[in-house]
């Protein structure tokens, strides 16, 4: 069991190491679409990459979700075949969003022995997700 301080330090060390191992400018929040962002996640049980549509204006959220659904077969066939599409995804804080994501289980930010495989998972899959976004960006934004 780790203290909060030790856990925070491990998280910080992981993300610093990830940035040094895979130096790259990621899109993340810079999609130029409000509340439409790519995210990395890593905790004690899993790692995840996601595209979150968080707009609380339900019409906007539906608009972007529908665009992503119209591209679903391309995204799955040509980029990331194991992505999960969740139109109504509830975050730990109770907020409902739409999320497209891919998870890696049996890894832990508290176990440095799983860091390398997690870094590779995050890097390789987010690169593919971003490549998809760049290819279809104009359609998604329209």
Has this prediction a pTM greater than 0.85?
yes
What pLDDT was estimated at residue 18?
97
Res. 50 pLDDT band, cuts 50 70 90:
very high
Give residue-wise pLDDT tens across range 3-43: 899 999 999 999 999 999 999 999 999 999 999 999 999 99
- Bridging pattern class, strands 96-105 and 46-53: antiparallel
What pLDDT was estimated at residue 60?
92
What pLDDT was estimated at residue 87?
97
CB atoms < 10 A from the CB of 132, how many? 20
The DSSP letter of residue 83 is -
Alpha carbon dihedral 28, 8, 99, 22, in 10-degree steps, equals: 40
What pLDDT was estimated at residue 29?
92
DSSP for 97-126, please give it. Answer: EEEEEEEEES--TT-GGGHHHHHHHHHHHH
Q: How far apart are CA 113 and CA 23, in angstroms?
A: 21
Q: What tokens were used for 42?
A: 């890593």
Q: Could you tell me the residue range of the domain that residue 105 belongs to?
A: 4-141
Give residue-wise pLDDT tens across range 74-128: 999 999 999 999 999 999 999 999 999 999 999 999 999 999 999 999 999 999 9
Give residue-wise pLDDT tens across range 106-118: 999 999 999 999 9
Q: Which residue reads 């391309």 in tokens?
A: 74
Domain count, the chain: 1
Res. 55 pLDDT band, cuts 50 70 90:
confident
CB atoms < 10 A from the CB of 14, how many? 19
Q: Is 104 within 8 Å of 47 (Cβ atoms)?
A: yes
What pLDDT was estimated at residue 31?
95
Q: How far apart are CA 80 and CA 83, in angstroms?
A: 6
């Amino acid at each position: 069991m780790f203290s909060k301080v030790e856990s925070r330090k491990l998280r910080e060390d992981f993300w610093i190491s990830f940035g040094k191992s895979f130096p790259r400018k990621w899109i993340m929040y810079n999609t130029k679409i409000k509340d439409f962002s790519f995210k990395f996640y890593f905790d004690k049980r899993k790692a995840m990459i996601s595209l979150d549509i968080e707009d609380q204006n339900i019409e906007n959220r539906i608009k972007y979700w529908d665009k992503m659904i119209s591209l679903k077969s391309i995204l799955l066939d040509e980029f990331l075949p194991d992505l999960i599409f969740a139109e109504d995804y509830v975050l730990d804080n109770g907020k409902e969003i739409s999320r497209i994501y891919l998870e890696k289980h049996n890894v832990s930010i508290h176990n440095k022995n799983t860091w390398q495989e997690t870094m590779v998972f995050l890097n390789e899959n987010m690169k593919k997700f971003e490549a998809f976004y760049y290819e279809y960006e104009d359609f998604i934004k329209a």
